[in-house]
Structure 1
Amino acid sequence: MEIQLKNDERIDQLMQYDLEIIQSPSVFSFSLDAVLLGDFAKVPKHNRAKIVDLCSGNGAVALMLSQKTKSKIIALELQDRLVDMAQRSIQLNHLESQVEMIHGDVNEATTHIKKDSVDVLTCNPPYFIVSDASRKNPNEHLAIARHELHLTLRELMTVSAGLLKTKGKAYFVHRPERFLEIMDEMRAVDLAPKRIRFVYPKPDKEANMILIEGIKQGKETGLKILPPLYVFDDNGEYFPEVRRMIYGNE
């Protein structure tokens, strides 16, 4: 079956996973945060789990997770253009029987996914609080993906906790400047933060990303702050750990 590409679309490689993904510079391309989240999330290898990826974009994280488990993955995305790109990427990789892409609003996720039914949930959400500038962003696709125009942090945590089973796990990638707010919103819905990793562009720079694992109705004790993850060395080359996440074991 031949996959049709639209005007400015291209096919890129998800190299570590030997997958292909449809991207568009003007609509949406996944970035390093998706790769880090796909690697950070722990999913069972068996085929009995229910795995959900919220704010799925063009499906990058869902595609990555499909290579780490035999379980089915449901991906939810608000923007129909991105859903269409993701669905064609799923077909491109012959994953139709494992990955299901749903066009829907995260706030209405329980109309598609049963409450208290999910074992593992991932989300690369909009990072930025809405401002006048974000409302005026000329690229609507990017504005929705990056700014809380349709989904706030509080709404995300409420929906995530509602979907997860007791002791189900949630994985998020976000921005360090909102760390305290994220912790407050997680704890407010009984999502206990369990593992946290700060990501730094270089060893001498401030962190610019954060990876978080939470457990629904988990114990308040036992939080682990993992070693820092540095992306680039002084020569602008990827550190070996990040290189492995992107390219696999070469």
Structure 2
Amino acid sequence: MDKFLKYPNEQIDDLLCDGLKIIQKQDSYKFAIDSVLLANFIKADKNDRVIDIGTGSGVIALLLSAKTDAKEIVGIEIVGEAFDRAVRNVKMNRLEERVKIVHGDLKEAVKIFGRESFSVVVTNPPYMMINEGKISPNPSIAVARHEVAATLEDVAKVSWQLLSFGGCFYMVYRTVRLVDVIYKMRSLGLEPKILRFIHPKAQAGPNLFLMMAKKGASGGIKILPPLVVYNSDGSYTDEIKQIYFGKRPEV
């Protein structure tokens, strides 16, 4: 597998799911648990065409190939080096027939793919606005963490345009912007239908949430039981262990 390594400081990590591997770079953005939790939250069947907007190195697209029966999974990424890694990750895992990676700006996705061309849109967008914290000089890290290349509004608008009527939008985001997300989703016709809060520990408040919204749906939202990441001793909870080993809990 070393033949797929291209740049200095790259390494191959185990995704602990159906034998999947991923190339990551030490001094670049590396995926975190939020991407894994999002991939496990998504439902897609053999009739679904899925797009991951802002796919980075393609971790969510790779996991969805194992966790769903989606007939096609597409990832779009603006940062050239991250796009290149995503392409190599697809090849390394021999998923070329099912997973496609496109180099482009997510704001141009409708021009690239066409309106209403997907039944499922997935995203783990940057959590921080431009005026929050220090922006990394590394383009991969900057785009992943801050709204440098796309804002929350851009993500919502493009997702609505890409989705077919009745299609589902899935995201993971930080709780401090929950109101912003619900407002923007509903104002565009993406009705929030499922919400699950992620707690670092049982005794701590949530810092992230998973949401599914549906295009053109009526009102009414289902709140799932909280997802707790760590036990009091710092070890992963049983549910997180199941998720990491590729077993999706029924909800």
Q: TM-score range by the shorter chain?
A: over 0.9
Q: 1:218 to 1:104 in 2, by over 3 A?
A: same
Please give the alpha-carbon distance, in whole angstroms, between the structure 2 residues aligned to 1:189 and 1:106: 17
**Counterpart position of 1:225:** 223
Q: Secondary structure at the match of 1:155?
A: helix
Give the secondary-structure state (helix, strand or coil) at the position aligned to 2:148: coil
- 8 A Cα contact 1:192 1:214, kept in partner: yes
For residues 158-195 of structure 1, give each alpha carbon's deviation from its aligned partner in whole angstroms, at most 9, with x where no partner exists: 00000000000010000000000000000010000000
Q: Distance in 2 between matches of 1:106 and 1:70?
A: 21
The residue that corresponds to 1:140 in the other structure is 139
Which 4+ runs in 1 deviate beyond 3 A?
Answer: 132-135
| Match in the other structure for 2:241 | 243
The one-character-per-residue Cα deviations of 1:78-128 (angstroms, maximum 9, x if unpaired) are: 101000011111010000111110011111101221201211111000111
* Cα pair 1:52 1:74 within 8 Å, conserved: yes
Contact 2:12 2:23 in 1 (8 A): yes
Determine if the alignment matches structure 1 residue 80 to structure 2 residue 80. yes
Deviations 1:123-170 (A, max 9, x none): 0001111117434x2333211111111111111100000000000001
**1:158-197 equivalences in 2 (<5 Å):** 158-197=157-196
2:123 partner letter: C
Partner of 2:41: 40
Partner SS, residue 134 of structure 1: coil
Q: Do the aligned residues in 2 keep the contact of 1:192 with 1:217 (CA within 8 Å)?
A: yes
Which residue pairs with 1:53 in the alignment? 52
Counterpart-to-counterpart distance in 2, 1:231 and 1:180: 23
Name the structure 1 match of 2:151: 152
- How far, CA to CA, are the matches of 2:89 and 2:127 in structure 1? 25
- Describe the SS at the equivalent of 1:205: coil
Letter matched to residue 33 of structure 1? D
User: 1:200-244: per-residue Cα shift (whole Å, max 9, x none)?
Assistant: 1101112111100000001112x1011000000011111111111
Asked if structure 2 preserves the Cα contact closer than 8 Å seen for 1:134 and 1:143, the reply is: no
TM-score by length of structure 2 reads 0.94
| Distance (Å, rounded) in 2 between the aligned partners of 1:86 and 1:132 | 28
Q: Gaps (5+ residues) in structure 1?
A: none
Amino acid at match of 2:227: L
Q: Distance in 2 between matches of 1:80 and 1:41?
A: 27
- Take 1:209 and 1:110, find their aligned partners in 2: how far apart are those partners? 28
2:134 alignment partner, SS class: helix
Instruction: State the Cα distance separating 1:49 from its structure 2 match.
Output: 2.1
Q: Which amino acid aligns with 1:110?
A: V
- Kept after mapping to 1: 8 A contact 2:79/2:139: no
Amino acid at match of 2:156: M
Please say if residues 134 and 147 of structure 1, whose CA atoms lie closer than 8 Å, have aligned partners that are also in contact: no
Q: 177-186 vs 123-132, which deviates more? A: 123-132
Which runs of 5 or more residues in structure 2 are unaligned?
none
RMSD after superposition: 1.4
Number of aligned residue pairs: give it: 245
Structure 1 residues 97 and 5: CA distance shift in structure 2, 3 A: same
SS of 1:210's equivalent in the other structure is strand
Q: 1:43-91 CA deviation, whole Å, 9 max, x = no partner?
A: 11x2x32111111011000001111215111100110100001111101
**For 1:26-54, what per-residue CA distance to the aligned partner results, in whole angstroms no more than 9, with x for missing partners?**
1121110000000001111x2x3211111
| CA–CA separation in structure 2 for the residues paired with 1:42 and 1:70 | 9
